[in-house]
Structure 1
Amino acid sequence: MPAVEFIAGWISGALGLVIGHPIDTVKVRLQTQSRYHGILDCILKTYRKETIFGFFKGMSFPVVTVAVSNSLMFGSYSNALLYISGTNYKDWKNPPENLHITVAGCFAGIVQVFFTAPVDLIKVRLQNQTESFKSNMKPAYVNTLYKGPAHCAARIFNEEGISGLYRGSVALALRDVPSVGLYFLTYEVLCKWMTNDEEVPGVWGMLVAGGCAGTVGWAAANPMDVIKSRLQMDGIQGVKYRGLLDCLIKSFQQEGARVLLKGLTINSIRAFPVNAVTFVSYEMLLQAFK
């Protein structure tokens, strides 16, 4: 059933997000703010100023929406692969060709961008909101620009229109389309490599393959992820960049080529456990449903 892949993707995406969101918050802040001198410095400053809850800022919205995004990604991938090759994604005895896997993965990346662009924008802006929601005797939200996901979305829409909600979407597409193709290809190749012909991969094999797939995919996505995050933060206090290319050039001029590596370490740390859990839960759910 085509719908099964969407349901399994929905649940596995939510599980992966809960595990990876605190690390993702650190990654986003390292990419967009110059006040931090590394991963540990960012973690310590965030904890001291905002307590443990600071790492979970912006999670309430994506914990629901990422399930939809993951559902779209896995569901469109599986169905695209079935259409292209006539081979079911889960038919380990008759695996699809690597080219078909890559093309189906790139298609899944395109599909999810239309939904994730506004969601990711709101998440990034909430994650970069470093002030506490309450401050001593002052009213709630006095130190914050956005009160929450709905307020953030409404304010962006009122100030910048619908295009504001899709700020950075070109960079997001350039990040996701190739990296999602590489993501699924890495997973499939490693699963086949770690198992004998016609065997179904075990849980440990799926964990390792899923974790490696996430790390490889995010390593490839990191340069454009930096540009995407900066474009999404642009517009809060005036517009700094005229577009993707302008952001890339100015970032290079100010910080050198190493700017594209910002957040790479933390991205890799986050990617392995998140995607290991995502793939294993996805595979287990498919088996349970079918």
Structure 2
Amino acid sequence: MNFTKKQFLRIIFLFVFSLSFSQAAKSDSLRGKFTYLLQYKPNTLAKDYIVKELFSLQVSDSRAFFISENKLKFDSLFMAKYNVDKGHIDLTNIPVSKSNFLIIQTNENSQYYEPVGMTLLSYNSPVINNWKLINETKIINSIACKKAEVRYKGRDWIAWYSTDIPLPYGPNKFSGLPGLIVKITDKTGDYDFELVKSVPNLNLKGKVVNVTGRHYQNAKLVTKKELVQARTSFKENVKFQMESMGTVFSQDQKERQRINEKDQKGYNPIELED
């Protein structure tokens, strides 16, 4: 069959998105909007390879949304194209994120969301409560910060937070400090989040969080282990379904798969422990 993997995934993708974009999301008034730059080393066997991506932290009255800025741009551009022609949506030049997740932080927990195939899965993590506050200060990007340290999921982290911004949130699942986290780095230097942009409160008046409901509504609650297993099974099933329909993978595709498997030997996730 003249049916590529990309075409197969695109059909699934458009079907899911045409349904999910029609869902209405709860409106959260925007109280803070911050942009973080994540720099990380995804593989321990290639220490010179550094991935960079921007993330948005949007704070409402009772919760905060942490998501890739490219995913937000994708939502906006996809919706614009969808409204023009629902039958034909050109995905060319629409940004793609390497981070296909959303984290919603509250005072009680952090909820992780990730779509796997046509199912949105979610698992819960308690708020970090073992922070060690250090009597040390630093100015970062013109913001007065205080130091804190924590061991979380197998990594030792150094955080710099600002009580001048009294929001108990930060990038990823990092929250629970008496001020916004401005910068947090694990001691190996493999992962680093830094605040690079914030929107003045005056510019937020009347605005709401722009994370669409498809990223978190009607999610199936699972454990982290179950989510990882589902992700792996989905990838294997897609390849099996394509081969059963007659798709033949070229030698180049097989070689890329072999290289990817080799890369996994040095896989360097942000969380080293469950």
State the TM-score, normalizing by the size of structure 2.
Answer: 0.25
Going by fraction, where is helix more abundant, 1 or 2?
A: 1
Structure 1 length normalisation: TM-score?
A: 0.24
